[in-house]
Amino acid sequence: MASSLTQPPPPLPSLHHPIPKSNLTRRSLLLTSTATLSFPTLFSSASPTQPPNPTITDRVFMEFSLCPNYYLPNRTLGDTISTLCSDSTSLGRVIIGLYGNLVPRTVSNFKSLCISASSSNPDSSSYKNTIIHKVFPGQYFLAGHQGRPERGDVRPPNHLPRNTETVDPKAFALTHSRAGVVSLPLSENDDDDEIKLDPEYRNVEFLITTGPGPCPQLDNKNIVFGTVLEGLDVITAIASTQTYQPGERIRQFNDLAEFFGDERAQNARTIWNRPLTTIYISDCGALEVAKPSLTPSLP
């Protein structure tokens, strides 16, 4: 009896689960420590993407006019826009703000061809007395086509620096989201191949969206470098001009000729969407910017 009273009480049940035997090896510990150290480093070093800087650093103006005589069949060899369009009708002035901080080279080249309109050198390249060669209703119009000045084309500007922004992804940050967006056309550029093959070729075509809606098909393909600040009514007037539109039969023949590699197919398309009334840039130049400012809304 005495011996039973001296026995120790039975152990109480444990309130915790037993810790299982660890199966960690030196390799797993090394991988775990590496992952723990690398993830914080990765996230701490990542910097947020900088938004585009649409500050208007420069302003230019363009005067647009209608010329009723340019396509007359009785033209002489020495006739140019300046001689044929002396009685032209003014459509008005458009003021364009340029994003010099975002795409400085594109802006500089565009501004150079606006300023050279007042140059005393008659052989300088300029947008003055050059035509709007394509109008796509409800979308945009194209200007600045290179070629022969007597035909209303821009003289090839071989003196301009090469535009390296055409291969810079940051230059394509802005979109064609409304009317009045000004951009450098890369996918829509229709300069002649013989001009593009020149080692000194510089693209100076430009397009302006006419609205009323956006043009998402132009995004990520063309460099937006400016916006229309004043004169959207002039842009609307240009967009409403009648253009040459081929019939369905002509389009089918053209597609067939292109399929068989006939070069005449591409040549025939050069007059498609051409305004039936000549619209041209009768004057252009630069305006002073007292203080750079942000645009009212991002294009």
Residue 257 backbone class (left: φ over 0; alpha: ψ -120 to 50; beta: rest): alpha
Give the pLDDT of residue 120.
59
- Please check whether residue 240 is in contact with residue 188, taking contact to mean a CB–CB distance below 8 angstroms: no
**CA angle (40 as vertex; 37, 34 as ends), nearest 5:** 20
> Once rounded to an integer, what is the mean pLDDT over residues 50-63?
89
Give the pLDDT of residue 175.
96
> Once rounded to an integer, what is the mean pLDDT over residues 102-131?
87
Give the pLDDT of residue 159.
85
Q: Which of 4-13, 109-118, 190-199 has the lowest mean pLDDT?
A: 4-13
What does the CA dihedral 113, 115, 118, 120 come to, rounded to 10 degrees? -70
**Is the bond preceding residue 157 a cis peptide, omega within 30 degrees?**
no
Q: Which of 74-83, 227-236, 277-286 has the lowest mean pLDDT?
A: 74-83
Give the pLDDT of residue 280.
95
Look at residue 6 and give its three-state secondary structure: coil
Partner residues linked to 230 by β-bridges:
95
Question: What's the sign of the alpha-carbon dihedral 258, 263, 267, 268?
Answer: negative
* 264 compared with 108, residue with greater pLDDT: 108
Query: Which of 118, 129, 133 has its CA nearest to residue 84?
Result: 129
Look at residue 45 and give its three-state secondary structure: helix
* 156 compared with 43, residue with greater pLDDT: 156
